[in-house]
Amino acid sequence: LMVRLVFPLETFTKSGAGIALVRPDFASSDREFIYFALAVFAIFAILIVNLRRSTTGLALNAVRWSENASRTMGVSVIQMKMLVSGLAAFVAGVGGGLFALAKNQAVPSEYAILFGLVWLAVLVTFGVRSNIAALLAGVVFVLSPAILTGKLHLNNKWALVPTLLFGLGAIALAKNPEGTVHQAAMGLQKMLHKRTGGRTTATPPPPAPAPDVDPDADRLAEVSS
pLDDT in tens, 175-212: 666 676 766 777 777 777 777 765 555 455 555 555 44
SS3 76: coil
- What confidence tier does 46 reach under pLDDT thresholds 50, 70, 90? very high
Neighbours of 192 (CB within 10 A): 9
- What confidence tier does 42 reach under pLDDT thresholds 50, 70, 90? very high
Q: Using an 8 Å Cβ cutoff, are 12 and 108 in contact?
A: yes
HSE, side-chain direction, 13 A CA sphere, residue 57: 8
pLDDT in tens, 130-178: 888 888 888 887 877 677 666 666 666 666 666 677 667 667 666 666 6
Distance of CA 62 to the CA centre of its chain: 19
The pLDDT of residue 220 is above 50: no
Angle at 150 between CA 144 and CA 156, to 5 degrees: 75
Neighbours of 148 (CB within 10 A): 19
Which of 31-35, 37-41, 86-90, 163-167 shows the lowest mean pLDDT across its residues?
163-167
CA distances from 218 to 200, 208, 211, 212 (A): 45, 22, 14, 12
- In this prediction, residue 190 carries a pLDDT of 78
Strand locations in the chain (E)? 19-20, 105-106
- In this prediction, residue 85 carries a pLDDT of 92
The CA R_g of the chain, rounded to the nearest whole Å, is 27
pLDDT in tens, 59-114: 988 898 888 888 888 888 999 999 999 999 999 899 999 999 988 888 888 887 87
- In this prediction, residue 213 carries a pLDDT of 46
Which of 8-22, 38-52, 176-190 shows the lowest mean pLDDT across its residues?
176-190
